[in-house]
Amino acid sequence: MNKPKPFSLYQGYIICLIIIFLWIFTVGGLYAQDMESPRKISDLGLPFLNGEVKTYYSNNFPERAAYLQEFIEEASYYLRKPEILGVKLDLGLAVLDREDWERWTRMPYGMAHIQLGESPVAIMPATKDNILVNGALENKNQVSEEIIERLEYIGFSYEDATLVMFMDLLGVHEIGHIYSEAYETWPTEKWLSEFIATYLAYAFFRESRPKLAQLWDTMMDSMVKMNEHSFTTLADFEELYVRVGGSNYGWYQAKFSQRVREVYEKSGILFMHTLKKSLAENSEAEEGDPFRLKELDSFSGGFQEWATGPKGNLK
């Protein structure tokens, strides 16, 4: 009898995503309501740190708030450079413990998200006792040696890697969404929107925090190798989005990230400038190119080939 395969480092994370996405669609639209909430984070009456990114925080967590403020300010500073995006945002940050999180939103504790508005605010967890970290740490004894070795090679223990990935890095992807919109490259295609947000986060990691870029790559490479995906096309992703399921959604994001890596190594941030010009000139995708693959190939080749690769037919 065949033995079941052990969980990889990221399968615990994927299981958590499944729970989260099932929860989101059960409550029906709650996530969007939180994103557009007319309330202000200042209504919670929390202490705050002044700075380029004004940072509110729950009592007893000033050090965590200061750390994340510095991290997000570093990412924001990179993205607003004239040679990068050249836009400046009045960006805020809230670092909340479970009690204040539940005062603010009914989103699962630990799921980083954004409050949109004139001054968008990134909401991030103050403690490691949250749905994503707990799910990953529970599978510590089942992590493969290959993943442990890759983590150790870049200087991370399993525990440290888990905390950095699920408490810090995912938040930079959300910041990428906000800067993408400010840069006027907010596409209607869901896959491209996710691709751009990851591209901006990855560019920051590569230029400013190369070890974090390696950690990101390790996670994404592992997620692609997982077998739990029934949907593999861009058409499925556009129609279903997170409803493809947590594991399948992670597979898509990992596939996008691998292509991000390829394009970034070839084109760097120039890709974003060329993309902005292309989106401005072509506000809607052509009927014969619904996912803009031919359009993207015109200035950064390889998209059509990537989307029809072996065992990864994203077209």
Q: Supply the CATH number for residue 125's domain.
A: 1.10.390
Higher pLDDT, 51 or 135: 51
Region of poorest pLDDT, from 163-167, 199-203, 280-284: 163-167
CB 254 within 8 A of CB 223: yes
216, part of any domain:
yes
Confidence at residue 107, expressed as pLDDT on a 0 to 100 scale: 82
Higher pLDDT, 139 or 59: 59
Phi, psi of 233 (to 5 degrees): -105, 155
4, part of any domain:
no
Confidence at residue 310, expressed as pLDDT on a 0 to 100 scale: 56
pTM summary value: 0.84
Say how far apart CA 234 and CA 4 lie, in whole Å.
30
Say how far apart CA 204 and CA 207 lie, in whole Å.
5
- Whether 58 has a pLDDT exceeding 50, the answer reads yes
Say how far apart CA 119 and CA 53 lie, in whole Å.
10
Task: Say what percent of the chain tops pLDDT 90.
Answer: 50
- Whether 11 has a pLDDT exceeding 90, the answer reads no
CA distances, 265 to each of 79, 218, 280 (Å) = 18, 16, 24
Say how far apart CA 174 and CA 172 lie, in whole Å.
5
Residue of 246, 219, 254 lying closest to 15 (CA atoms): 246
User: How would you class 204 by CB atoms within 10 Å of its CB: exposed for 0-12, middle for 13-18, buried for 19 or more?
Assistant: buried
Confidence at residue 52, expressed as pLDDT on a 0 to 100 scale: 93
Domain, as residue range, for 294: 11-313
Per the structure, how many domains does the chain have?
A: 1
281, part of any domain:
yes
3, part of any domain:
no
1, part of any domain:
no
Higher pLDDT, 136 or 53: 53
Q: Which DSSP helix (H) or strand (E) runs through 26?
A: helix 11-27
- Whether 193 has a pLDDT exceeding 70, the answer reads yes
Mean pLDDT of the chain: 84
249, part of any domain:
yes
